[in-house]
Structure 1
Amino acid sequence: MFDIFKRKYSFISSSTLKVIAIVTMFIDHVAAGVLLYMIREGMYPFGMDREQIIVVYDWMRHIGRQSFPIFCFLLVEGLFHTKNLRKYVLNMAIFSIISELFFDILFKVRVDVANPNVIQLLQENWEKAGSNTNVFFTLLIGLLVIWMMKLIEDRFFDENEFSFLGFTVNNPLYMLLYYMPAAVGGMIAWKIGSDYTFWGVTLIAIFFIFRNQPLLASIFGYVFLSNMGGEAWALPAFILIYFYNGERGFIKGNYKYVVYAFYPLHLLLLFIVRLAVFGIAN
């Protein structure tokens, strides 16, 4: 019944999901990287008082909760549609490293937050900035995890279209081996303090394991992630994911690099905006 409903009403391409994820991420980061710092300094724009601007801030963060689940889902789709998996991993690694500086100066500073001297800013805030890494690292770890899980599927599991997950296992020990990459990846993400830590890596694994059961993927993914503080607001994202139609959409070819580059570039832009706002206020 649910499969028939999905086939009939699925209307969202991967390109549409990417745009939704980018827009909601941008809204979230405006709140977390600019508005939050203004509130801390007692700067309330548009004639609002503190209570009103906090409501605006909260709703911007709620909207922003949609982006991460969509990116996790698209990462799994990318595993199966990429022509060069090693290049895919390399791209994720490169943008993880490139993005880290901008991530730190926008979100992980508490002292002298409008200092344009980036080196000095990081030195003054290194205890906080050095303890976390950006979301690209979480996605990179998740990609490596599901790559290993797929290799285990291909080597030890038998395809079975009548099976719940699309495969059967002859040896229960293989299932332990199957879940091990997710456990190790989650621990690594937690150790390096990557954004969403093990929650993000596990969500990627859930989307991968239940890729042939889209309804269950959305349900289990949401139930799991909603246990992380504030992520219950991500429900619309999981609904949109369910209505994914399997088509690429209008973002094709090298335009995918625009999506990659948007992350570090918009962090830099918002940092410049924060410098300008604080400069005008002073």
Structure 2
Amino acid sequence: MSDKLPASFFPARFQILSGSALKMIAIITMLIDHSAAIILRLYAPALRPLFYLNGLAISTYRLCRDIGRCAFPIFCFLLVEGFLHTSNRRKYGRNLLIFALISEIPWNFMFANTWHYAKQNVFFTLFLGYLAFCAIEYFWENRWKQMLCLLALFGLSFIVNADYGWRGYIFLLIMYLLRNEKASQAIVGSCWLAYEWKACFAFISINMYNGKRGFIKGKAAKYFFYLFYPLHITVLVILRQVLFR
């Protein structure tokens, strides 16, 4: 990791989160979100209002889904960091695609409880972002080819129809292009996420990043981070079948 960090809107003393800490925040918020989407939506007490906010009923289920909105922006930030600092970009992209394919069956059962579901998992959105980053760098001296590649990938985001879709693809471009301007990244990114405004809180933790790798080291730990996505969905789907069959 580079020792020189883009300016954060937090003072240096608040930049206390390593890449590993951000990964843990991302997977925990994702786990909370998916637990609600798979389990709590079928559990009547979790759907009862805890309180009302501006006339809107807030339940345990709703709180968990809202907390989960923070996961995607953090994963996007980590993808940019990983792309910039990996020693093997080809292998990095290959891993994204492999785990996108591995995650398809758990993802399909998560939403449709069958082998086929029209929408694809979020790894495909991240993979399209990775391809866009590659295109930007490879065609840096040829802006026409660069733009054609980005537009082609934008069109592909509609065809693939992955989680977060074309909006997620554009958000990844925002995160990459503004990677050296943390304040602008947070402002523009938050404006883009206005349709899902709870996700904007993710920029708090992103701006607390200190540029250090942290405690997640080694191949086993790295691949567990990839594997957690299909694994936790599989466990939750099995629990749903046991509890609500």
Residue aligning to 2:201: 236
Q: How far has the Cα of 1:20 moved from its partner?
A: 0.3
Residue aligning to 1:251: 216
Q: 1:74 to 1:151 in 2, by over 3 A?
A: same
Matched, 1:147 2:134: yes
Residue aligning to 1:190: 158
Matched, 1:275 2:228: no
Q: Deviations over 1:38-90 (max 9, x none)?
A: 1xxxx424xx6744597111110000000000000110111111111111111
CA RMSD in angstroms, aligned pairs only? 2.1
Q: Deviations over 1:125-149 (max 9, x none)?
A: x4xx1x1100001111110111111
CA distance in 2, matches of 1:19, 1:4: 21
CA distance in 2, matches of 1:251, 1:276: 33
* Deviant stretches of 4+, over 6 Å: none
1:14 to 2, 19, 38: 19
1:205 to 145, 151, 173: 173
Q: How far has the Cα of 1:256 moved from its partner?
A: 1.0
- Structure 2 letter corresponding to 1:44: A
CA distance in 2, matches of 1:26, 1:268: 12
Q: Deviations over 1:157-195 (max 9, x none)?
A: xxxxxxxxxxxxxxxxx5454444333222212212100
CA distance in 1, matches of 2:239, 2:208: 36
The correspondence of residues 20-169 of structure 1 with structure 2, limited to 5 A, is: 20-36=25-41, 38=42, 43-45=43-45, 50-52=48-50, 55-109=59-113, 121-122=114-115, 126=116, 129=117, 131-153=118-140, 156=141
Q: How many matched pairs?
A: 232
Q: 1:4 to 1:69 in 2, by over 3 A?
A: closer
Task: Using structure 2 for the length normalisation, give the TM-score.
Answer: 0.87
CA distance in 2, matches of 1:242, 1:51: 33
Indicate conservation of the 8 Å contact 1:149/1:178, yes or no: yes
SS at match of 1:249: coil
Residue aligning to 1:263: 229
The correspondence of residues 213-228 of structure 1 with structure 2, limited to 5 A, is: 213-227=181-195
- Structure 1 letter corresponding to 2:44: Y
CA distance in 1, matches of 2:177, 2:147: 10
Indicate conservation of the 8 Å contact 1:186/1:197, yes or no: no
- Structure 1 letter corresponding to 2:61: Y
Q: Deviations over 1:226-274 (max 9, x none)?
A: 23xxx20012201211222111111112111110000000010000110
- Structure 2 letter corresponding to 1:243: M
| Unaligned residue ranges in structure 1 (runs of 5+) | 110-120, 157-173
Residue aligning to 1:167: none
CA distance in 1, matches of 2:179, 2:47: 46
Q: 1:26 to 1:250 in 2, by over 3 A?
A: same
- Structure 2 letter corresponding to 1:132: K
- Structure 2 letter corresponding to 1:98: I
- Structure 2 letter corresponding to 1:135: V
Q: Percent identity?
A: 40
